[in-house]
Amino acid sequence: MAVADGATVRVHYTGTLDNGTEFDSSRGREPLEFTLGQGMLLPKFEEAVRGMNPGETVTVTIPAEEAYGEHIEELLLTVAAQQVPAHISPEVGMRLQLADGGSERDVTVTEVTAEYITLDANHPLAGEDLTFSIELLEAR
């Protein structure tokens, strides 16, 4: 039976970038379970699952603008190294939370020098087209 909105589904998936780099996979762990149509996942991911039957596999490519958006240069922040709390030793690739006017924002350290640190507040997959191989295991 083809799945429709409201069905609870379990899928295995593997996500890759255009260059073939795998950025996420459910293989080797519990399948991803979600209710189709609740908007908990990327809309194009859910759209790819809609209409599938258990046992089927589909591959879908989601353009950056329909995934996590384009990379926005204005979300690169440079802060003085002395502004970083002493207990944090920033390294390139490190994820941090930055207090931003009463809320917190996740950032990635992209550059570290003795004088400054560059932080990227874009989603780590911003600007990337994402390809997912999705296998529908179960629907109820």
Q: Is the domain of 21 the same as that of 63? A: yes
Which phi and psi angles does 113 have, rounded to 5°?
Answer: -130, 175
Q: Is residue 1 part of a domain?
A: no
Q: Is residue 3 part of a domain?
A: no
Q: Is the domain of 47 the same as that of 91? A: no
Q: Which residues lie below 8 Å from residue 92, measured CB to CB, with a gap of 6+? A: 109, 110, 111, 112
Q: Is residue 111 part of a domain?
A: yes
Q: Is residue 26 part of a domain?
A: yes
- How far apart CA 133 and CA 139 sit, in angstroms, is 17
- How far apart CA 134 and CA 114 sit, in angstroms, is 45
Q: Where are the beta strands (DSSP E) in 26-101?
A: 32-35, 57-62, 76-80, 95-100
Range of the domain at 96: 73-120
How many DSSP H helices and E strands does the chain contain?
1, 9
Q: Is the domain of 130 the same as that of 115? A: no
User: How many angstroms from the chain centroid is the CA of residue 71?
Assistant: 13
pTM score of the predicted model: 0.85
Q: Is the domain of 13 the same as that of 54? A: yes
pLDDT tens, the chain, 140 aa long = 799 999 999 999 999 999 999 999 999 999 999 999 999 999 999 999 999 999 999 999 999 999 999 999 999 999 999 998 889 999 999 999 988 778 898 999 999 999 999 999 999 999 999 999 999 999 99
Task: Look at residues 5, 6, 26 and name the one whose alpha carbon lies nearest to residue 133.
Answer: 26
Q: Which residues lie below 8 Å from residue 50, measured CB to CB, with a gap of 6+? A: 3, 4, 5, 36, 37
97 in Cβ contact with 82 (< 8 Å)? no
Tally of domains within the chain: 2
